[in-house]
Amino acid sequence: MVRFVANSVLYPLQFCMSYTSVLLTSAVVINTVCFVLSAMTLHELGHIVLGSDAVAFRAAQFYCINPASVFFSAAYSESCYALLAFRGMLLVERNCLTSSAFFFALSGAARSNGLVNIGFLLYRATRDAVEWLLLYYQAKTKISFSSFAQKMCKLAALLLLCVVPLAAFQYHAYSVYCNQLDNYHNLPEHVWQYGIKQRYRMPYMGPSVWCSYWLPLSYSYIQFSHWNVGFLSYYELKQIPNFLLATPMAVLCVWMIVSHLLNHPAHCLYAGLLPKNDATDSEHDCLPTTCFVYVIHTAFLLMFGILCMHVQVLALYFYSYLLASI
């Protein structure tokens, strides 16, 4: 996308700027456009889920002014991912599961954590199946097992679609770095010179360490060996300032999760799969029961962020995704 815009819309800039500068300008333009579109999509999603245009607009405002918004204009994939993920969630709420799976697949191509978005499809499919069974039980109608099987096959195909981009990239990495028959001496000169300068492992150096793993995933190896990402790997005394920086965001998320559970105990007890019981729901809760799956999504990301990720990611990235959901 960056290269396409740099060579088309921004092509005149190449006569007065270096190509590297044009590429960076292109990245800023693309990310700014994606950021604006993601905020608009989040507002639409909030209007449906929250049932209030005012609250949805406020959530979109928080999303725009959060401290992590700097990442939405820099040359990162956050803006593109946010747009694709929010669009997929919006389409799920509109019951367009096929289209939502397509956007979730693209979000997984933008960032690996897009794989978590599969949960929205699984939850919607589970809820539809329970409603279908309840309708059968109450109406005593016949169940069309062929129709049920078709729905399950469709769901499996959609889930597979969501996994394909990340799996394809991992396969590409395996074919490049684990192939003992190809030395890749035909790499462009600027590529291998840059790799040598940065002390990267190049394809012509032989199979990488992760090639012999039982599940040869390059991304998990890079996260562990280069970024020290792993279970409790970041728990060091020198990281205490970063933990303090992330504490307000974590406390805010925990407060939101606990508040939702306490205000909708019956709904949460049955995972929102049974018909709503108005007698057990608080009318004063700012988050309606329709937010249940988003609350669970927040809880999962929060736990994973605290236990496995760099905690400053919790303090920065989570400001955008979680503050908007709160």
Query: Secondary structure of 185-208 in the HEC alphabet?
Result: CCCCHHHHHHHHHCCCCCHHHCCC
95: left (phi over 0), alpha (psi -120 to 50) or beta: left
* Nearest alpha-carbon partner for 209 in 186, 177, 181: 177
The pLDDT score that the predictor gives to residue 279 is 40
Torsion of CA 52, 305, 220, 105, to 10 degrees: 0
Which DSSP string do the residues of 244-259 spell out, in sequence order?
HHHHHHHHHHHHHHHH
The pLDDT score that the predictor gives to residue 311 is 67
* Cβ–Cβ < 8 Å for 249, 315: yes
Q: Copy the structure tokens of residue 216.
A: 């040869």
The pLDDT score that the predictor gives to residue 89 is 94
Positions in the chain short of pLDDT 70? 138-144, 180-186, 275-286, 311-326
With H, G, I as helix, E, B as strand and everything else as coil, classify residue 74: coil
The pLDDT score that the predictor gives to residue 275 is 62
48: left (phi over 0), alpha (psi -120 to 50) or beta: alpha
* Nearest alpha-carbon partner for 141 in 128, 151, 132: 132
The pLDDT score that the predictor gives to residue 282 is 46
The pLDDT score that the predictor gives to residue 142 is 63
Domain extent listing, the chain:
1-76, 95-227, 230-326
Predicted TM-score (pTM) of this structure:
0.85
* Cβ–Cβ < 8 Å for 201, 218: no
* Cβ–Cβ < 8 Å for 29, 5: yes
